[in-house]
Amino acid sequence: MTYEYILIQTEQKVGLVQFNRPRALNALNREMVSETVAALESFDRDPGVGCMVITGSERAFAAGADIKQMAQATPVDMLDNPFIDYWDRLRRLNKPVIAAVSGFCLGGGCELAMACDMIIASESAQFGQPEINLGVIPGAGGTQRLTRAVGKALAMEMVLNDRRLSADEAARFGLVNRVVPTESYLAEAMKFAAQIAARAPVAIRLAKEAINAVYEMPLQAGLAYERRLFYMLFATEDQKEGMDAFVNKRPANWQGK
Ligand code: CAA
């Protein structure tokens, strides 16, 4: 499949999607988001891929949803527009997705990064939900995911008063996993993703599912769910292989079975 707004490649079992609308600071138009989700779903189905990375450019991960595309929209246009539904499809991906973020990560860009499983930020990344300046509020999960990540007090400031977070602040408040030098942010994210892609695939998938279940379930149900997934892994060849490798002091050879 060929894409107009994104570039894709696979390296060391990592599927990479790179936004390619530099002149609009990777503003997320419908087409780019649709292509991104299609590419990620295709990586998710590909047994040669174990982990995925989404990135933009050094100057901008994404400066938000495309304001020009929605400026004249009516509520019914917005209702009929699958734009925000794409975020739900991201949530259904089985393999981990890492956002490699540099520069502007605003509005829908920040919401997209937060919909990923982990975020690696360059020193020059800037996170914010500036929709209030446009007379609207975040509409792709910003009020919900940001509040869960950084807490109510800071989320209120960010959404109500356009408070931006530097990369270091984002790390301090738990929004990002780590901050790395701007020159090497993508290489660092790819290295990190390759480490995850080299691990036991079924266990990685179920680990992601169990952690994300925290946001959907009360504690008792979450603990029971985790336990079932844990027991289920004893039906995999990888569990036998991993434990045998430990006992016999050799590296494990994962099959994803
Ligand atoms: N949508 C459409 N175009 C955008 C854009 C966006 N979100 N962000 C930037 N661009 C375009 C600009 O219009 C400009 O294009 P032209 O050269 O054709 O005029 C180009 O990208 C470069 O932008 P600037 O000249 O503004 O660059 P700057 O360095 O002066 O400023 C910026 C950078 C601070 C990020 C500024 O562009 C900006 O504030 N952008 C908008 C950020 C924003 O409000 N995002 C939220 C969008 S709404 C949303 O995301 C809703 C949701 O929850 C789903």
Q: Look up residue 209 and give its two tokens.
A: 């599912």
129-165: pLDDT as tens digits: 999 999 999 999 999 999 999 999 999 999 999 999 9
Provide the 10 A C-beta neighbour count for residue 192: 20
- State mean pLDDT over 185-203: 98
At 82, is the pLDDT very low, low, confident or very high (cuts 50, 70, 90)?
confident
Q: Could you give the residue ranges of the DSSP H alpha helices within 126-232?
A: 142-150, 152-161, 167-172, 185-197, 201-212, 219-232
Burial annotation 144-167 (CB, 10 A radius, 16+ → b, else e): ebbbebbeeebbeebbeeebbbeb
Say if ligand 1 is within 6 A of residue 238 CB: no
Say if ligand 1 is within 6 A of residue 59 CB: no
Q: Which of these is catalytic: 108, 109, 141, 242?
A: 108
**What pLDDT, on the 0 to 100 scale, is given for residue 60?**
98
Please state, in angstroms and as integers, the Cα–Cα distance from residue 190 to each residue in 10, 96, 201, 236, 245, following that order: 10, 13, 17, 28, 27
Please check whether residue 78 is in contact with residue 47, taking contact to mean a CB–CB distance below 8 angstroms: no
- State mean pLDDT over 80-96: 89
**What pLDDT, on the 0 to 100 scale, is given for residue 81?**
84
The identity of residue 175, as a single letter, is L
Say if ligand 1 is within 6 A of residue 110 CB: no
At 87, is the pLDDT very low, low, confident or very high (cuts 50, 70, 90)?
confident
Give me the residues paired with residue 65 across strands.
28
**3-class state of residue 34 by DSSP:** helix
**What pLDDT, on the 0 to 100 scale, is given for residue 84?**
82
| 88-92, 196-200, 210-214: range with lowest mean pLDDT | 88-92
Percent of the chain with pLDDT over 70: 100
Model confidence at 1: pLDDT above 90 = no
Q: Give the mutation target among 19, 20, 25 for probing the ligand 1 site: most ligand atoms within 8 A of CB.
A: 25
In the chain, the domains with their CATH numbers are: 6-197 (3.90.226.10), 201-247 (1.10.12.10)
**3-class state of residue 176 by DSSP:** coil
Identify the helix (H) or strand (E) that includes residue 128: strand 126-128
- State mean pLDDT over 93-114: 98
Interval between CA 87 and ligand 1 midpoint (Å): 20
